[in-house]
């Protein structure tokens, strides 16, 4: 009888995972990872997670295989019990593309060891099995979604509203009660919108950080990330031009251009209540960390 009950619970959780691959219209805005506490009828902790990782991917960026692997490796390393993840994509509100939250998931915190004695032994075993399944499922969901967005990157989109996308997601990050918040932005950092453009003649132009920050201020594009840690991967990445100097055609980025770009984004995040921990030009030199 007990074996049958365990099998039923395992089947129920497995069914939840299968059904969740056919997600409802609100997929991405709510938790897409089934709860092990609910599946086993155990009272959930008041704080099911204390870490938030928000992954925001620029659809206009084409990363090579090495950088794509770095994105996936960093995401996977952060997906531990007690973590909420959000996977979102953006470009500009045109050509059928827009800011879109694809999946949200919570990998729940385990029952504290000192409290396990309050749970029926058979139910506790099922819960531990469920938690292992949940971790694997949450990682698979996040990584598969991230990989799909990275592979669909294209240079054919004319605009990239990076500033507007960041401002739009910042309230969701700030409102989270997680003790640790991290935003992983995969982007070239090259704004190309009606507010300003970091391009000139199909190449990256030299920007004046102070002038560009003033434009962001005048257009109310600063956000509030609630003191989140920010990592950027892909800065300065751009497809080689088909004309111009040899350096431009080879996709060369001179140090001054990258220094000014980093200074602008450091200023932007500082004024948006966030800390720019690392600015990958284009690769991260240190892995994501809380």
Average pLDDT taken over every residue of the chain: 86
Q: What is the DSSP letter of 282?
A: S
Per the rule left: phi > 0, alpha: psi between -120 and 50, beta: everything else, 201 is: left
Which span out of 23-37, 151-165, 218-232, 252-266 was modeled with the highest average pLDDT? 218-232
Instruction: Report yes or no on 290 lying in a domain.
Output: no
Work out the burial of residue 218: count CB atoms within 10 Å of its CB; fewer than 13 is exposed, 13-18 middle, 19 or more buried.
exposed
Of 5-9, 127-131, 226-230, which range is least confident?
5-9
Instruction: Report yes or no on 285 lying in a domain.
Output: no
The backbone torsions φ and ψ at residue 41, rounded to the nearest 5 degrees and listed phi first, read 55, 50
pLDDT on residue 134 = 98
Instruction: Report yes or no on 217 lying in a domain.
Output: yes
Mean pLDDT for the stretch of residues 21-40: 75
Residue 24 confidence (pLDDT) above 70: no
Which span out of 27-31, 60-64, 138-142 was modeled with the highest average pLDDT? 138-142
Q: What is the pLDDT of residues 131-147, one digit of tens each?
A: 999 999 999 999 999 99
Instruction: Report yes or no on 124 lying in a domain.
Output: yes
Instruction: Report yes or no on 288 lying in a domain.
Output: no
> How far is the C-alpha of 142 from the C-alpha of 53, rounded, in Å?
11
Residue 30 confidence (pLDDT) above 60: yes
Q: What range defines the domain where residue 263 resides?
A: 2-279
| Cβ(223)–Cβ(267) below 8 Å | no
Instruction: Report yes or no on 289 lying in a domain.
Output: no
Q: How many domains is the chain built from?
A: 1
Instruction: Residue 170: name the closest of 181, 159, 179, 160 by CA.
Output: 181
pTM: 0.87
Q: What is the pLDDT of residues 8-19, one digit of tens each?
A: 344 345 544 543
């Amino acid at each position: 009888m007990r074996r049958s009950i365990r099998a039923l619970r395992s089947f129920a959780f497995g069914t939840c995972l299968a059904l969740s691959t056919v997600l409802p219209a609100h997929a991405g805005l709510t938790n897409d990872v089934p709860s092990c506490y609910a599946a086993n009828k155990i009272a959930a902790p008041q704080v099911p997670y204390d870490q938030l990782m928000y992954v925001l991917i620029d659809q206009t960026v084409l990363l090579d295989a090495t950088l794509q692997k770095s994105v996936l490796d960093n995401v996977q390393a952060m997906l531990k019990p007690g973590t909420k993840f959000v996977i979102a994509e953006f470009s500009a509100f045109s050509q059928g593309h827009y800011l879109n939250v694809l999946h949200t998931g919570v990998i729940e915190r385990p029952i504290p060891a000192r409290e396990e004695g309050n749970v029926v032994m058979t139910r506790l075993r099922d819960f531990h099995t469920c938690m292992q399944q949940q971790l694997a499922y949450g990682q698979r969901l996040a990584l598969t979604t991230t990989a799909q967005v990275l592979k669909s990157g294209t240079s054919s989109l004319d605009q990239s509203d990076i500033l507007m996308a960041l401002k739009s997601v910042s309230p969701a990050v700030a409102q989270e009660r997680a003790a640790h918040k991290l935003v992983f932005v995969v982007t070239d950092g090259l704004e190309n919108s009606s507010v300003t453009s970091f391009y000139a003649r199909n190449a990256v132009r030299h920007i004046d950080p102070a002038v560009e920050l003033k434009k962001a201020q005048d257009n109310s594009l600063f956000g509030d990330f609630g003191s989140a840690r920010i990592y950027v991967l892909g800065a300065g990445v751009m497809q080689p031009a088909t004309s111009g100097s040899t350096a431009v055609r080879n996709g060369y980025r001179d140090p001054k251009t990258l220094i000014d770009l980093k200074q602008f984004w450091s200023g932007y995040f500082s004024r948006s209540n966030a800390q720019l921990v690392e600015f990958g030009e284009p690769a991260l030199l240190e892995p994501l960390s809380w």
